[in-house]
Amino acid sequence: MSGCVSSQDSETFESDHFSFTYPSEYIADEYGLWTEERYEWHLNPPEGCSLCHVPDVRVEKALGAQTVDQYIIDAYTLGSDGTLTEMSVKVQLGDHEFTKVVVSDMLTATGYYTKKDDVIVGFVSYKSESGDWEDELEEIASSLEF
């Protein structure tokens, strides 16, 4: 990721297809958004750290005619039933309707996905501890502009 523009308490990420704002305490790179501690772990992982390269918020982008549901099914290898009705919900955040999905395997992933024209954007966090991180994730997603 690149192209961040500063404002008071937030930064703005801009790409050719979309932009969004995020809290200035995060560090942005091509993998997503990191807290300072997690970014340091990513750059200099302790021995045996299997999660050090997982950002706090992963930002996904896909170009093509695929539906959001099919993108999620493929991304999480959820099988061929073609539906997400039991594990997803549609939510309105900002100007866009997102598909929110929570998937648990080795980690719990909470993702918000939306599409405009042929661009799918997803914001995914693997945080599972209690706290207000999900509100922050929704705030980041709600700032999305195509």
Q: pLDDT means per 10 residues in the chain (146 residues)? A: 58 93 94 95 93 94 91 77 72 97 84 96 85 90 98
Closest alpha carbon to 123 in 103, 98, 92, 146: 98
Q: What is the pTM of this model?
A: 0.86
Predicted pLDDT at 110: 93
- Closest C-alpha to 98, from 81, 110, 107: 110
Token reading at 50: 């299997």
pLDDT of residue 16: 87
Domain ranges of the chain: 4-142
Residue 84 pLDDT:
67
Phi, psi (degrees; rounded to nearest 5) at 95 = -90, 5
Question: Six-digit token pair at 32?
Answer: 């997503």
Q: What is the DSSP string of 53-122?
A: T--SEEEEEEESS--HHHHHHHHTT--SS---TTTEEEEEETTEEEEEEEEESSSEEEEEEEEETTEEEE
pLDDT at 79: 58
Are 12 and 21 in contact by the 8 Å Cβ rule? The answer is: yes
Q: Give the C-alpha distances (Å, rounded to integers) separating 16 from 19, 62, 88, 96.
A: 8, 13, 29, 18
pLDDT for the residue numbered 3: 46
Distance CA 93, CA 110 (A): 15
Cβ(124)–Cβ(85) below 8 Å: no
Q: Domain 4-142, CATH 3.40.1000.10 — does that match?
A: yes
